[in-house]
Chain A
Amino acid sequence: MSGKIKIMERKGKDLYERLYLIEVFKGMAVTFGHFLSNLLDNSKLYVRHYPEVKPEITARWRGRHRLTKYEDGTMKCVACFMCQTNCPAKCIMIEAGERVDGRTEKMPVRFDIDLLECIYCGYCVEACPMDAIRMDTGIFSVTGDERKSFVLKITDLLETPGAFTEEEYKKGGA
């Protein structure tokens, strides 16, 4: 154990700084200066007032999922399981059944997305041959007080509208 010992020279050797108190008051002056100026006028602040002011989200943002519908209100999803197959987090659980709304033959009777397991990679959107699942709801923050509330059911997914117009979404590169 013969390490090289380096003795650090202490800065602030003059009496002024060694008194500390003067330096402390100088620092507090800066702090209180900012405090007072922001208290009187907070428009110049460099932070977003987050819960009140939401961030602007682009159409390419991968937010919470939704299932899209045709103009007549029937769902586009045909339960082909492509999203479930492609999902790296295995968070999509589908059960298929006979279609009852007059379009083709197949539709999901259960379509669950476990948001606690979802990694928001967007692979489900890419895999979908019907443009039936999108992540364009603009919802970036999902909260809940129990695990069960994070499992989205088919009704939740269908009810949520998209946050963007079709043109904006298409321009986003979808």
Chain B
Amino acid sequence: MADKVKLFVNGQEVEVESGKNLIDAIGAVGIEIPHLCYHPALGADGNCRMCLVGIEDGRPPLVPACKTRAAEGMKVQLDTDKIKKIQRDIMELELINHPIDCPICDQAGECKLQDYYMKYDGQKSRMTVKPVLKAKKMDFGCGVVHDQERCVLCARCVRFTRLITKTGELGIVNRTDYARVNIFPGRPLANRYALNVVDLCPVGAMTSADFRFKQRSWFLTKSKGICRGCSKGCNIFIDHNREKYKDDVIYRFRPRLNEKVNGYFMCDAGRMTYKQENDNRLTVALLDGKETGLNEAVEALRRAVSQAKKIVCVISPNNSLEQMFAIQKFAANCNAAVSGYSDGYVIAGDGDDFLIQDDKSANRASFALLGIDASKAGFDAAVNGADLLICFQNDLSLSLTADALNALAGNCKLAYLGSNMDACAEKAAIALPVASATEDAGTLVNVDSILQQYAVAVVKNTPAFDMIHVVSQLGGEIKNCFEARAGLTAAVAALKGIDLEQVPGEGLALTVSEVPNVAA
């Protein structure tokens, strides 16, 4: 626990963390200091002057809150007429050349200029001269669309490319009225975190081409989730909306702050994984490629399981801990071999030292916890002579060549339980639809052995059953997530003493000694 200092805000005594600047320290107790250029991940820049606060008896009496550390006995003034006039004047300056095209701006509804205008300004424009016209709808690359007219030159995006990605594609060119955020000629944004500037931008100057005009931000339900793009398990907001007469659709993923995992950011590839949740879904059960009722398909698979001599269950590294446990139990009941073979999910050398990992699956670390063998040799030994192969969300077409998969599907009956119509589902004799990651709840262990949980975010008009339910219908003994969690804490040594029903929001670090041999 950090040291606490006592200071006064508007004459009211508050206890805040020491060592932080005034915006963060006072913001943590619920008192907002307006700011545009300051961002906790990018540090204080002090260029917007919006966070100027008065310090009673201070030298100087007026300081930018982003560059001033909270100190014992400080008397911070936020509501004096002088401070209010400064905030109003700064807003007036910011809005001199602002196009006020909120009706067509994607940022509307989550825009700092809108919020601060309503809260701190609220006056009519006194400008009589024509506003300076600047370039609009500039393609900055990586799906970032820039609008110079809306820009307040806070330089958050510029600092992001310099400090975080260290690529420095963006800069502020020229001065005063001519100052513009721009790229170097012919050198657009080219880094794998570029879309973070869209979130960083406090106004609508940086917007996403992918999300452009899709939805207004106030229609979106912002549910918490965890990204499945790689084994980092970045915390995200799942922004989804059910339009009238339509289904619940995800429109974007946005990073959610978790200091332990991803900080404030996420990668562009992870951001785009929302499309997998919407497109190419397996919605009906397939029997030899023909649509059938779910019950008939489940019955067909049950029969196949009871008739098979050697069964192999292939677990996906994207399955949640609970799902893996339920499948393991099911496999034990019907004497099936379990494999987690999924080499195709790993793209060697693709990761970096920031967020992106080589392993493009979310929960491989749980293989070690549950003792699931993911080796090629183990898989080959298991499928040798097998007559039923059940893939649980594991798209074997990633790991095996097309010929090898065809040979496999020829040698034994291939069944598939998954949420997407991937190559493996197309080959399968029996394909059962299950709820996708955002439609289900579960637990993931990321590459750094941090255990995180996610809840059901999206509820479709005709919801698919979750994996554990379908497995229980096939004959698995675990009926639901709760039973799986109870079983997990009892059976897995590393999870002893952890209440899986009450995992803190920022995740739970499993100590290194408890999870040896975590896959890369």
Contacts and interface: CB of A to CB of B under 8 A. Distances in A.
Contacts, number: 35
Contact of B213 (A82, A85, A90, A97): A97
A96 B214 CA distance: 7
A105 B218 contact: no
B243 A79 contact: no
A85 B104 contact: no
B216 A81 contact: yes
A96 B218 CA distance: 15
Contacts of B497: none
A104 B101 contact: yes
Place the interface of chain A in its size category.
Answer: 10 to 19
B104 A104 contact: yes
A104 B101 CA distance: 9
A96 B213 contact: yes
A100 to B, nearest CB: 13
Contact of B136 (A96, A105, A129): A105
A78 interface: yes
A80 to B, nearest CB: 3
Interface string B93-113: 000000001111000100000
B244 interface: yes
Nearest to A96: B213
Given A79-B213, A85-B218, A105 B137 contact: yes
Contact of B103 (A78, A93, A97, A98): A78
A62 to B, nearest CB: 22
A119 interface: no
Contact of B244 (A81, A90, A130): A90
Interface string B54-88: 00000000000000000000000000000000000
A93 B104 contact: no
Contacts of A79: 104, 213
A104 B213 CA distance: 13
A163 B415 CA distance: 65
A69 interface: no
**What's the dominant secondary structure at chain A's contact region?**
loop
A93 B244 contact: yes
A56 B216 CA distance: 40
A96 B219 CA distance: 14
A173 B392 CA distance: 65
Contacts of A98: 212-213
A124 to B, nearest CB: 14
Given A93-B243, A105-B136, A130 B103 contact: yes
Interface string B102-143: 111000100000000000000000000000000011000000
A129 B103 contact: yes
A85 B102 CA distance: 14
**What's the dominant secondary structure at chain B's contact region?**
loop
A60 interface: no
A145 to B, nearest CB: 22
A99 B224 CA distance: 33
Nearest to A91: B244
Given A90-B244, A105-B136, A82 B218 contact: no
B137 A80 contact: no
Nearest to B136: A105
Contacts of A85: 216, 218-219
A80 B204 CA distance: 14
A80 B214 CA distance: 11
A104 B330 CA distance: 59
Interface centre among B136, B212, B216, B243 (most CB of A within 10 A): B216
Contact of A106 (B104, B218, B243, B244): B104
Interface in B247-302: none
Interface centre among B212, B243, B244, B245 (most CB of A within 10 A): B244
Interface string B189-229: 00000000000000000000000111010110000000000
Interface string A112-149: 00000000000000000110000000000000000000
Contacts of A97: 213
B213 A80 contact: no
Contacts of B212: 98
B208 to A, nearest CB: 14
A79 B103 CA distance: 7
Contacts of A96: 213-214
Interface string A12-48: 0000000000000000000000000000000000000
A106 B216 contact: no
A81 B241 CA distance: 14
Interface string A87-110: 000100100111000001110000
Interface string A47-85: 000000000000000000000000000000011111001
A105 B99 CA distance: 13
Contacts of B219: 81, 85
B200 to A, nearest CB: 22
Interface in B132-177: 136-137
Contacts of B245: 93
A93 B219 CA distance: 13
A80 B244 contact: no
A82 B104 CA distance: 11
Given A90-B244, A96-B214, 19 more contacts: A78-B104, A79-B104, A79-B213, A80-B102, A80-B103, A80-B216, A81-B216, A82-B103, A85-B216, A85-B219, A93-B243, A93-B244, A96-B213, A97-B213, A105-B136, A106-B104, A129-B102, A129-B103, A130-B103
28 contacts: A78-B103, A78-B104, A79-B104, A79-B213, A80-B102, A80-B104, A80-B108, A80-B216, A81-B216, A82-B103, A85-B216, A90-B244, A93-B243, A93-B244, A93-B245, A96-B213, A96-B214, A98-B213, A104-B101, A104-B104, A105-B104, A105-B137, A106-B103, A106-B104, A106-B213, A129-B102, A129-B103, A130-B103
Interface of B: 101-104, 108, 136-137, 212-214, 216, 218-219, 243-245
Interface pairs A-B: 9 shortest CB-CB: A80-B103, A106-B104, A96-B213, A81-B216, A78-B103, A78-B104, A105-B104, A129-B103, A106-B213
